[in-house]
Amino acid sequence: MRNNILPLGALTHWFSETKPPHCADNIATWLYDHNSLTQKLETHFKSFSVEIKQQLNVTPNKYLSPLFKQEEKILVREVFLHCNNKPVVLAQTEIPFSTLTEQQLALAEIGEQSLGTILFQDPSMLRGQIEVTEFEKGSFFHQLVSDLGQPANHSLWARRSLFYLQNKPLLVSELFLPASGIYNE
């Protein structure tokens, strides 16, 4: 796979809290769940782990969300969440350097720990609204899942939301891969 930032945050239209009319209920149940995705995956599968795809310090660019375009630098972390030894979610986190101060500086060094676990254990954590998007068949992400051995003849769905720790923002985007099981429940 390429060692470039995936265009998960910028090159798509995001729907806010309103479910798109063509999104199946079983998919929407996963997309709009405000609880910890890590905890939900640990409940549904026998094993859970995090694989770091890449972690980079970058300047804002066309591949990232425009939410932090005023920042000088952004830490971008891309990971695969694995369940039963298969990648089931591709997660991308954008953390402005202005967020990486004091206690939040540790977010740059979490390695293969689940960010979700850290976020949902922090008593100061607030979550913004969930936005969702659809990647229709033939998208860049369909090539990615095919490269992972998970070809899909259907749309792929993703979600994103801002999280705040001590009122400092970070953006988490999650693409649900075919092996996640949300497409065939």
Measured in whole angstroms, the distance separating CA 170 from the mean position of its chain's CA atoms is 11
1 falls in which pLDDT band (50, 70, 90)? very low
114-127 pLDDT per residue, tens: 999 999 999 999 99
- Between CA 50 and CA 18 the distance in angstroms is 30
The pLDDT of 12-22, averaged and rounded, is: 76
Count CA atoms closer than 13 A to 147's CA, side-chain side: 8
pLDDT of residue 17: 66
User: For residues 88 and 46, what is the distance between their CA atoms, to the nearest angstrom?
Assistant: 13
Confidence of residue 3 (pLDDT cuts 50, 70, 90): very low
Q: Give me the residue label for tokens 């003849």.
A: 153
Candidate CATH numbers 3.10.100.10, 2.40.30.70, 3.40.1410.10, 1.10.540.10; the one for domain 25-180: 3.40.1410.10
Residue 19 — very low, low, confident or very high, per pLDDT cuts 50/70/90? confident
Q: What is the pLDDT of residues 28-48, one digit of tens each?
A: 999 999 999 999 999 999 999
User: Can you tell me whether residue 131 is helix, strand or coil?
Assistant: strand
pTM for this entry = 0.92
End-to-end CA distance of the chain: 29
pLDDT class of 62 with cuts at 50, 70, 90: confident
| Residues 139-182: tens digit of each pLDDT | 889 999 999 999 999 999 999 999 999 999 999 999 999 999 89
Q: Quote the pLDDT of residue 106.
A: 92
C-alpha–C-alpha distance, residues 142 and 137, integer Å:
6
Question: In angstroms, what CA-CA distances link 46 with 39, 51, 82, 83, 87?
Answer: 12, 17, 11, 7, 13
- Grade residue 184 by pLDDT with cuts at 50, 70 and 90: confident
**DSSP secondary structure, 70-95, as one string:** T-S-EEEEEEEEEETTEEEEEEEEEE
Q: Is residue 22 pLDDT above 50, yes or no?
A: yes
Helices (runs of H) and strands (runs of E) counted in the chain: 4, 7
Between CA 123 and CA 61 the distance in angstroms is: 32
